[in-house]
């Protein structure tokens, strides 16, 4: 096992996300985290999962009855590969993904350019902070809704032993092009983590 996963004797898998900042950041999204999104947001028309990895999120989205197009820059055995979302010009009704940690701001920009209706990105809650993001994103195009997880998501590399608990707060950031009211802060209900293991 990679020693960086054990910090002071404790197993803290979420700390590893920053270690992949210069490489292919791949931490599949737990099914329950995607299910929480589709239970509170309605998506009409095609959904583009543009960092699909091994299809963990796409498979949950397909159960909504929507057409889901899946792509990724890297080949994880699922969807169309070699597609760089940050430069792609493909249009879709909706874009939903858990973007790579080191490209989140770029995914917001590309998502707003390529989505006709909604962009939903799974991001750290701390994404709300920062003078740079305030200037480049939030002062111009703030999210319509931020759905905060009441339960912590623990991200693991594929095939890692699942143990321990996450230490980082996450939220679904929604940009809804039909919404004209002020941004809303909401909380996802408890129970998803246990129900959708």
- 14 pLDDT band (50/70/90 cuts)? very low
- 3 pLDDT band (50/70/90 cuts)? very low
Q: State residue 162's pLDDT score.
A: 59
Q: Model pTM?
A: 0.85
Q: State residue 193's pLDDT score.
A: 83
Residue of higher predicted confidence among 58 and 13:
58
Please tell me the distance from the alpha carbon of residue 45 to that of residue 36, in angstroms, as a whole number: 19
Instruction: Name the percent of the chain lying above pLDDT 70.
Output: 81
Q: pLDDT by residue (tens digit) across 154-193? A: 876 665 555 656 778 999 999 999 999 999 999 999 988 8
Residue of higher predicted confidence among 67 and 10:
67
Q: State residue 7's pLDDT score.
A: 39
Q: State residue 167's pLDDT score.
A: 79
Average pLDDT (136-140) is 95
Average pLDDT (70-85) is 96
Q: Which CATH number fits domain 29-195: 3.40.1790.10, 3.40.50.150, 3.40.190.10, 3.30.1330.50?
A: 3.40.50.150
Give the torsion sign (CA, 110, 115, 116, 119).
negative
pLDDT exceeds cutoff 90 at 88: yes
Question: Would you call 82 exposed, middle or buried from its count of C-beta atoms within 10 A (0-12, 13-18, 19+)?
Answer: exposed
Q: State residue 2's pLDDT score.
A: 37
Please tell me the distance from the alpha carbon of residue 25 to that of residue 132, in angstroms, as a whole number: 22
Q: pLDDT by residue (tens digit) across 19-64? A: 343 445 677 899 999 999 999 999 999 999 999 999 999 999 999 8
Domain extents for the chain?
Answer: 29-195
């Amino acid at each position: 096992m990679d020693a960086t996963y054990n910090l002071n004797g404790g197993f803290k898998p979420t700390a590893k996300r920053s270690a992949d900042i210069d490489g292919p950041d791949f931490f599949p999204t737990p099914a329950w985290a995607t299910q929480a999104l589709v239970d509170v947001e309605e998506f009409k028309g095609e959904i583009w999962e543009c960092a699909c990895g091994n299809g963990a999120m796409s498979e949950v989205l397909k159960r909504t009855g929507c057409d889901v197009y899946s792509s990724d820059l890297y080949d994880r055995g699922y969807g169309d590969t070699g597609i760089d979302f940050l430069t792609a010009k493909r249009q879709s009704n909706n874009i939903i993904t858990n973007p790579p940690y080191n490209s989140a701001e770029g995914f917001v920009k590309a998502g707003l350019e390529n989505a006709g209706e909604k962009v939903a990105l799974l991001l750290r809650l701390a994404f709300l902070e920062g003078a740079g993001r305030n200037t480049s994103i939030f002062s111009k195009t703030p999210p319509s809704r931020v759905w905060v997880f009441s339960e912590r998501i623990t991200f693991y590399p594929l095939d890692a032993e699942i143990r321990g608990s996450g230490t980082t707060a996450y939220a679904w950031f929604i940009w809804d092009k039909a919404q004209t009211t002020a941004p809303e802060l909401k909380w996802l209900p408890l129970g998803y983590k246990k129900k959708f293991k």
